[in-house]
Structure 1
Amino acid sequence: MLESVTLTCPYCGEDFETRVDASAGSQAYVEDCPVCCRPIEIGLDVGVEGTIVGVHARSDRD
């Protein structure tokens, strides 16, 4: 189940929309910023009922 979320790039500060898949549970993966093309680590926290509890974006400096 894909859901749209809005994140802020930790490098350029621009907001962007991406889709996350909560069906696989909590996870972390790398996606390039669509504005500045820098790699962002996206962390997805999923609760016991399969709902998204939190989403965060980090740079390689964090």
Structure 2
Amino acid sequence: MNEYFFQCPYCWEEISMLIDVSQSLQSYIEDCETCCNPIQITVQAENREILSFQAENIEQ
């Protein structure tokens, strides 16, 4: 598990999330710990390193 910091696409607060880097591609919805809005998370990992991370507003 790697801790990853990013900005919420709703409230713009910096939040952190634990990412399971044993999975090469993940996509799921997680609520912001500050404003509780749902965020679409997409992560690509390789060799236990995060290659790409996207946190998107699902209400676009």
Question: Structure 2: which amino acid aligns with 1:44?
Answer: V
Instruction: Name the structure where strand makes up a greater proportion of residues.
Output: 2
- Give the aligned residue type for 2:18: R
TM-score w.r.t. structure 1 length? 0.85
C-alpha RMSD of matched pairs (Å)? 1.2
Greater displacement, 24-33 / 49-58: 49-58
The aligned amino acid for 1:58 is E
Whether 2:8 is the aligned partner of 1:32: answer no
**Using the alignment, how far apart are the partners of 2:7 and 2:49 within structure 1?**
21
State the match for 2:57 in structure 1: 59
Stretches of structure 1 that go unaligned for 5 or more consecutive residues are none
Is 1:20 the counterpart of 2:19? The answer is yes
Structure 2, unmatched stretches of 5+, are none
Tell me how far 1:3 sits from its aligned partner. 0.3
Shift, 1:51, TM fit: 2.2
Count of residue pairs the alignment pairs up: 60
The runs of at least 4 consecutive aligned structure 1 residues that moved more than 6 Å come to none
Of Structure 1 and Structure 2, the greater helix share is in 1
